[in-house]
């Protein structure tokens, strides 16, 4: 009898728990969770013609975007995540990064990539 009441109370406590603010941030580019140490804010429209609209990305995803596009290209053509994702090099990057752990970061991919070019 009392058991049923107790269980209800516990459920209510869980639902009302205020300590739920560490829901993971998901990177809109690669759809993986972003660890707190890897969060970077990217301005979709650099130097804001409008209000600065930012998205939160992995640092490595953010670097990749800026490695591929100039500020003017980002502002004019690739000013949404969907548009970025329509670009072949980005798709290739997403395919590659999806196989890495969420907190993966490489300081420099130069040595590897330049050699194979």
If the CB atoms of residues 29 and 84 are measured against Zn ion, the closer one turns out to be 29
Q: Which residue has the tokens 């209800």?
A: 8
Question: Phi, psi at residue 114, to the nearest 5°?
Answer: -65, -35
If the CB atoms of residues 107 and 115 are measured against Zn ion, the closer one turns out to be 107
The residue length of the chain stands at 117
Using CB under 5 A, which of the segments 3-11, 19-27, 81-89, 101-109 binds Zn ion? Answer: 19-27
If the CB atoms of residues 27 and 84 are measured against Zn ion, the closer one turns out to be 27
Burial of 58 (0-12, 13-18, 19+ CB in 10 A): buried
Smallest gap from Cβ 67 to Zn ion, in A, equals 11
Q: Which residue has the tokens 């993971």?
A: 24
Interface residues with Zn ion (CB under 5 A)? 27, 29-30, 42, 58, 61
């Amino acid at each position: 009898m009392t058991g049923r009441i107790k269980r209800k109370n516990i459920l209510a406590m869980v639902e009302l728990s205020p300590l739920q603010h560490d829901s993971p941030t998901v990177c809109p580019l690669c759809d993986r969770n972003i660890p707190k140490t890897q969060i970077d804010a990217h301005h979709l429209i650099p130097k804001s013609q409008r209000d600065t609209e930012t998205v939160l990305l992995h640092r490595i995803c953010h670097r990749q975007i800026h490695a591929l596009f100039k500020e003017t290209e980002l502002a004019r053509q690739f000013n949404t995540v969907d548009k970025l994702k329509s670009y072949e090099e980005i798709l290739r990057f997403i395919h590659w990064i999806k196989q890495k752990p969420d907190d993966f970061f490489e300081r420099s991919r130069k040595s590897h990539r330049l050699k194979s070019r």
